[in-house]
Amino acid sequence: MKVSIIGSGYVGSVTAACFAELGHEVICIDIDEEKVRQLNDGYPPVWEEGLEDLMKRHVGKRLIATSDYDYAVQNSDISFICVGTPSSDNGEIDLSIVAAASKSLGESIASKNAYHTVVVKSTVVPGTTEGVVRSILEDYSGRKAGDTLGLAMNPEFLREGRAVHDFLHPDKIVVGSLDRRSDSIVSGLYRDVDCEVTHVNIRTAEMIKYVNNAFLATKISFANEVGNICKRLGIDTYQVMDAVGRDFRINPAFLNSGAGFGGSCFPKDVRALIGSAKDLDYYPSLLESVIEVNELQPLQMVEILEDKLPEIKNKRIAVLGLAFKNDTDDIRQSRSIPVIRKLLEKGADIHAYDPLASDNMKKVFPEITYTSSAQQALEGAQACLLMTEWDEFRKLNTEFDSMDRKLLIDGRYLLDPEKLEDVEYEGLCW
């Protein structure tokens, strides 16, 4: 099929490259001419394992980029809206980018003679596709959804660092459609993917995305709450959760205690669901506590540090890990951010290292020192805070010898203290 993708960020670029891999002809639309040039050169604007290989394989063949909406719509049968939906702290979503994309699409569809389907892949609260998107499309295209205009919602369930794999080997595909024709067209795009398609209405599809992420976030905060209790009782929470996770009703995934969750999805989506519930005059106390636990969790790293090192001012502290998780350069809602902010408030001299995310973190904290290796960050440090689950950090051992004081606070249960020589080890929840 012929597909156009609006937005070339994380979701858009992965969706475009993977649809091309599945044999579809794909046109990326972005208003940023530099991103268009970059995409046409075969370089994705975000780092994701395997993404650049797919781009280079298909660019100029089944994959091109343009800033021309008219060209993209005229040369495709279906358009995916994959733009950002940022939200405020109270959960209110900013739909301005979605609205702008819908307007541009509607204007281009107006001059097209053939049937066209629009699919929202951006994460939006229930009612957005049939409300905001539909009304704008109909106003500017002069068409009626369900007649000469198809409308659907196809949420993504991609893990950063594993997005290409997850797209091509999903555990679920959800298509929410306005009518059978829209459903058939969107579902047909996945005909060569070995996964059953779940067919629902549009609002249900929007809700599935939020509930999916909210449940995973809840598991993480639950594990951290239990971990905090275990810490005070002298119990290894990982042994507890290993046994609990063997229950088939529970599953071991997302039960690892640590510094909390971050990224572009979990914090934003839980807050958006909270905001939507409050708009309906319902107070979601469980979801509120999920966010509260997550906000407080990383700050316990600093509390442990102060207990071990009462005077932090002017002390050199190594922070290893800046991305919100391993295998990505994404620092959005990284749990390192509140930790670094608190350390700066206390006057610490911070030396930080991350395999991929240092350049992004420099935009947030230009005043701290960034090193090119973990070894450089550790040299002369009074303490080390381990924040991200990078595999290279699991191999650290003799590198701690260069510290002035070999104090290690592990926020991700990466290292076994029994295998570390003369290191003063303290786990966050264990």
Q: Which amino acid, residue 260? A: G
Q: Between the CA of residue 279 and those of 84, 98, 132, 250, 283, what are the distances in Å?
A: 22, 21, 17, 31, 9
**Strand partners of residue 175:** 199
Alpha-carbon gap, residue 243 to 234, rounded angstroms = 17
70 near 108, Cβ under 8 Å? yes
Half-sphere exposure of 108 (CA within 13 A, CB side): 25
Spatial neighbors of 169 by CB under 8 A, at least 6 apart, are: 193, 194, 195
304 near 372, Cβ under 8 Å? no
Task: Supply φ then ψ for residue 87, to 5 degrees.
Answer: -135, 155
Alpha-carbon gap, residue 260 to 295, rounded angstroms = 8
Q: Given phi > 0 = left and psi -120 to 50 = alpha, else beta, which region is 42?
A: left
Using H for helix, E for strand and C for coil, what is the string for 163-192? HHHHHHCCCCEEEEECCHHHHHHHHHCCCC
DSSP one-letter code for 145 = B
Tell me, yes or no, if 230 is annotated catalytic: no
Q: For the chain, state the CA radius of gyration.
A: 23
> Token pair for residue 259?
């510094």
Alpha-carbon gap, residue 385 to 346, rounded angstroms = 15
Q: Which one of the listed residues 18, 28, 230, 265 is annotated catalytic?
A: 265
> Token pair for residue 26?
């794909």
Q: Order the strands of the 383-386 sheet from edge to edge.
A: 369-370, 349-353, 316-320, 383-386, 407-410, 424-427
Neighbours of 246 (CB within 10 A): 10
Q: Which residues are catalytic?
A: 265
